[in-house]
Amino acid sequence: MSSSAHKPLVFIISAPSGSGKSTLVKELLKLVPNLDFSISYTTRAPRGSEQNGKQYYFVSRSEFDKMVRENEFLEHAEVFGNCYGTARRFLREAEKNGHDLLLDIDVQGAEQILRKLPGAVSIFILPPDRKTLEERLRKRSEDREEVIQRRLITASREIQNYRRYNYILVNDRLPESIEMLRAIVCFERKARSGEPLTGECAKTAAIADRCRLANVGDRLKPILASFESPVESGAG
């Protein structure tokens, strides 16, 4: 080893919109110390109570393009007609502070990060089924009906990519989902440290293990099937 500098463990979280990713990330950040959230840059307009520099940095297309030209992004992609990017500086800052880094990015971004940082840990969040996803999108009441329908169609497509991720987390009951996400992060940190897994850690490891892609198997079948069946509108 030439250097003892901390190499941040990078966690990638992807999910179809409305699965509960923001909710889970917010709770995770409260529970886990030394985990930074990478605030993405986007050309989309702020929604609801979103504030610049909190959920996102909201920039113009020309500002975004300038950042691309100046190689400031670790990855960037177009999602729902808007540009999104992860700034390299978050990784540098995490490294400097001895922290790990959490990225909330789409499947295209995840692919780019995994090419550059093969040690990144990827987590895909799924809703329990299509109907629940539709209910959550409505409950959030941020989108017009046509946008909700578009998000559901996109979700069916995005979900097909689940196999590219290390862990699959089905966000059914919130407290359990938070616990599973926490367990994945804690287990991966412990595994990297090389320390033995004893007591509480062994329990945490068992929870994380159940979410591994290789272990979710049949539990995913009904979820995937619910997104394949002909679209039934739950509106009204």
Using CB under 6 A as the criterion, which residues of the chain lie in contact with ligand 5GP when the complex forms?
Answer: 14, 17, 40, 44, 75, 77, 79-80, 84-86, 104-106, 108-109
Residue 140 near which of ligand 5GP, ligand ADP, none (CB within 5-8 Å, type-dependent)? ligand ADP
- Closest Cα partner for 160 from 16, 24, 12, 19? 16
- Closer Cβ to ligand 5GP, 164 or 210, answer by number: 164
- Closer Cβ to ligand ADP, 21 or 76, answer by number: 21
Using left for φ > 0, alpha for ψ between -120 and 50, and beta otherwise, residue 137 falls in alpha
Residue 40 near which of ligand ADP, ligand 5GP, none (CB within 5-8 Å, type-dependent)? ligand 5GP
Q: How far is the CB of 174 from ligand ADP (least distance, A)?
A: 4
- Closer Cβ to ligand ADP, 92 or 173, answer by number: 173
- Closest Cα partner for 33 from 137, 189, 230, 219? 189
For the chain, where are the E strands, in sequence order? 10-14, 35-37, 40-42, 56-58, 73-79, 82-87, 100-104, 121-126, 167-170
Q: Which residue is nearest to ligand 5GP (CB)?
A: 109
Rg of the chain over CA atoms, in angstroms? 18
Q: How far is the CB of 79 from ligand 5GP (least distance, A)?
A: 4
Query: Hey, what are 217's tokens?
Result: 């198997």
**Residues 121 and 213 sit within 8 Å (Cβ to Cβ):** no
Residue 108 near which of ligand ADP, ligand 5GP, none (CB within 5-8 Å, type-dependent)? ligand 5GP
Residue 106 near which of ligand 5GP, ligand ADP, none (CB within 5-8 Å, type-dependent)? ligand 5GP
Q: Which residue is nearest to ligand ADP (CB)?
A: 20
Q: How far is the CB of 182 from ligand 5GP (least distance, A)?
A: 20
Using CB under 6 A as the criterion, which residues of the chain lie in contact with ligand ADP when the complex forms?
Answer: 15, 17-23, 136, 139-140, 171, 173-174, 177
- What residues have CB less than 8 Å from 63, skipping those under 6 apart? none
Strand partners, 78: 83
- Closer Cβ to ligand ADP, 14 or 43, answer by number: 14
SS (H, E, C) 128-196: CCHHHHHHHHHHHCCCCHHHHHHHHHHHHHHHCCHHHCCEEEECCCHHHHHHHHHHHHHHHHHHHHCCC
Residue 226 near which of ligand 5GP, ligand ADP, none (CB within 5-8 Å, type-dependent)? none
